[in-house]
Structure 1
Amino acid sequence: MMKEQVEVEEEPKIMGVSEDQYADSSDSDDGVNEFKAVFKKYKKRRPAPDFSGVIDVKTSPLLQSRLVFTEEIPTEKIDLAEKLGLIHPSEWRVYSFPDRVGLYLLPGLLKKENATVWLKRAFKYANPPNITNLTLHGKDVQSDPSLLQKALRWTTLGVEYDWNTKQYPPNGRPVPEELYQLGNLISNSLKLGDMRPDATILNYYPPKSALSPHVDKSERSNAPLISMSLGQTAVYLSGALSLSEPPIPLWLRNGDFLIMHGEQRLVYHAIPCIGPAVKREHFERDEEDPMISDYLNCSRINFTIRQVNPF
């Protein structure tokens, strides 16, 4: 999911930041685009949208939930979860919709105190030789750290997605070990099969940003798409195979994991807004690196771990 460049309202189109090069957000075949209407509703800033219809997975009667582990948990999974900054696996609870088989939510899986660790990694991942939206313009965050907050919108890791051709090359560099371990741990724990992540796309959402309706369909394997939210709360729209079907709105908060598997890998989805005041997340100031807590208190990052190639 979320393999697209982030749009930013009221910001000039610099460095490809606001251009929407990936998504197919055109009208559906029958000319009716119910998804777009819902997207525009939540993207609108004045007057502020009514968020009462956004689903909270922990309290909504529309979802079913269960513990992920009901038997003895292997020690290696417990140790790996701790290493990755996740809560103890005995506390993992997965939420799902009966009519959306393959859409799973694991809320609050990442410990809040470990958000800063993952944000630092997200900024490190934006260094060369990894490609970002700044690369084609001869810029990078290593030589100009100010770009982290004002211009960075995406980073590709591993088998690096080509925004122009909308395709992946045959292969690429390995993804960082922690992302490989994270993707395989989640997929295996949900009994979706072993996953060998070979790509990750990070989307960086500053205030007033959005992600247009799109489908992730370029991967060459059927492995799940596993995303982790960091920072500010987002409204996430989960649609259907056609834009003629209206999406359902969900809250995605810091530390939440959303997994798309099977047919759900090919549904339209989007982020119309982040950080609405009614759901704002607060992070304690990091005295050693104030920019980290400042960023978390106003922006959002999404990691989407993928397996492009079959085994």
Structure 2
Amino acid sequence: MEMDQYSGSPGKGDEIFMKIFKYYKTPVKLIDDPRTEALGLRNVTEWALYSFPDRPGLFLIRNPFTSLGQRFWIRKCLEEYPRKPGKSNIDIDGECTDWWKSCYENGKYTEENRNDFPEDLAELSDVIAQYLGCDGFKAEAAIVNYYHMNSTLSAHTDHSEEARLCYHAVPKIIPSNTCPWNEELFPVHCKIPAFKYITQQNNILEQINQNADNIEWRKFQNYIAQSRINMNLRQVLYKNQKSLSDSCCE
């Protein structure tokens, strides 16, 4: 959302943006995925994919969500994901919800803290992973962070994550000049696709379309106008593992 300031006609902001990121006009693996519309995503042909030249494997997809899709996932993060069985911590930086909570005291995930992963979030991550050509990726752990405009996150490393050993932080939350979740609220009328993880398939369209009602959306609008939400999805097990106790080499 912070990158919205660079949208529109080319200008100084676009020049800075293009110097930082390398743009792929053709995605790594273009797939016409029938699940996108039902999950609040734009057609993959509309996505813009960027990479950091000095950080192989790190990609940025420039807002693949529809306006209604943004409302859907914002609401999920505020209304559903903080509930049990997810575990929540509240501190001065905000609330953190984690499925398969990482024990940062010893830097390891544990089976004792493992819960069922949300089906819709697993489906969303699978669509994006397929688009990037990461066919073997499976979301098994997630953290949802909630930031107010005055929130910060100091520099740290995540020792449980091989890909996150570099220091990273959130030094500042930048207000958005626009409200993309309020722009084009077109109801979804697609056929229910063949989902990989979602079992209650008949409910997904009803859930996403209810957010087109501005009265229904009002309380979530009040929150997101002053806050930001960040979701981190991670794979914990190797492809041939069922649990942490299984050998990763079998």
Structure 2-normalised TM-score? 0.68
Which deviations, in whole Å up to 9, do the C-alpha atoms of 1:48-68 show, x marking residues without a partner? xxxxxxx86984234221145
Call closer, same or farther: CA 1:70–1:208 in 2, change over 3 Å: closer
Match of 2:110 in 1: 169
Q: Does 1:125 align with 2:81?
A: yes
Moved over 4 A (4+): 55-58, 68-72
Call closer, same or farther: CA 1:66–1:194 in 2, change over 3 Å: same
Match among 89, 95, 111 for residue 44 of structure 2: 89
Q: Is the Cα contact below 8 Å between 1:201 and 1:304 reproduced in 2?
A: yes
CA distance in 2, matches of 1:165, 1:100: 27
CA distance in 1, matches of 2:86, 2:37: 27
CA distance in 1, matches of 2:129, 2:20: 23
Which deviations, in whole Å up to 9, do the C-alpha atoms of 1:90-141 show, x marking residues without a partner? 112211122221221001111123222112211211012221015xx9xxxx
Q: Does 1:292 align with 2:233?
A: no
Q: Is the Cα contact below 8 Å between 1:67 and 1:92 reproduced in 2?
A: no
Match of 1:215 in 2: 157
The count of corresponding residues between Structure 1 and Structure 2 is: 195
Match of 1:80 in 2: 35
Alpha-carbon offset, residue 289 of structure 1: 3.9
Report SS of the residue matched to 2:236.
Answer: coil
Q: Is the Cα contact below 8 Å between 1:215 and 1:267 reproduced in 2?
A: yes
Structure 2, unpaired ranges of 5+: 1-12, 183-212, 240-250
Structure 1-normalised TM-score? 0.55
Alpha-carbon offset, residue 192 of structure 1: 3.0
CA distance in 2, matches of 1:70, 1:191: 6
Q: Does 1:273 align with 2:231?
A: no
Q: Does 1:60 align with 2:15?
A: no
CA distance in 2, matches of 1:195, 1:86: 19
Q: Is the Cα contact below 8 Å between 1:63 and 1:98 reproduced in 2?
A: yes
Alpha-carbon offset, residue 217 of structure 1: 2.8
The one-letter code sitting in structure 2 at the alignment partner of 1:288 is E
CA distance in 2, matches of 1:103, 1:125: 26
Q: Is the Cα contact below 8 Å between 1:64 and 1:95 reproduced in 2?
A: yes
Call closer, same or farther: CA 1:68–1:82 in 2, change over 3 Å: farther
Q: Is the Cα contact below 8 Å between 2:97 and 2:143 reproduced in 1?
A: yes
Alpha-carbon offset, residue 170 of structure 1: 2.9
Matches within 5 A, 1:229-240: none
Q: Is the Cα contact below 8 Å between 1:184 and 1:196 reproduced in 2?
A: yes
Report SS of the residue matched to 2:50.
Answer: strand
Q: Does 1:199 align with 2:157?
A: no
Call closer, same or farther: CA 1:82–1:293 in 2, change over 3 Å: same
The one-letter code sitting in structure 2 at the alignment partner of 1:125 is Y
The one-letter code sitting in structure 1 at the alignment partner of 2:165 is L
Alpha-carbon offset, residue 303 of structure 1: 0.6
Match among 40, 57, 68 for residue 113 of structure 1: 68
Q: Is the Cα contact below 8 Å between 2:86 and 2:115 reproduced in 1?
A: no
Call closer, same or farther: CA 1:214–1:56 in 2, change over 3 Å: farther
Q: Is the Cα contact below 8 Å between 1:57 and 1:63 reproduced in 2?
A: no
CA distance in 1, matches of 2:130, 2:25: 14
Call closer, same or farther: CA 1:307–1:70 in 2, change over 3 Å: closer
RMSD: 3.0
Report SS of the residue matched to 1:60.
Answer: helix
Bigger share in helix: 2
Which deviations, in whole Å up to 9, do the C-alpha atoms of 1:238-264 show, x marking residues without a partner? xxxxxxxxxxxxxxxxxxxxxxxxxx5
Which deviations, in whole Å up to 9, do the C-alpha atoms of 1:180-221 show, x marking residues without a partner? 1222222222123421111110001012001111222304xx
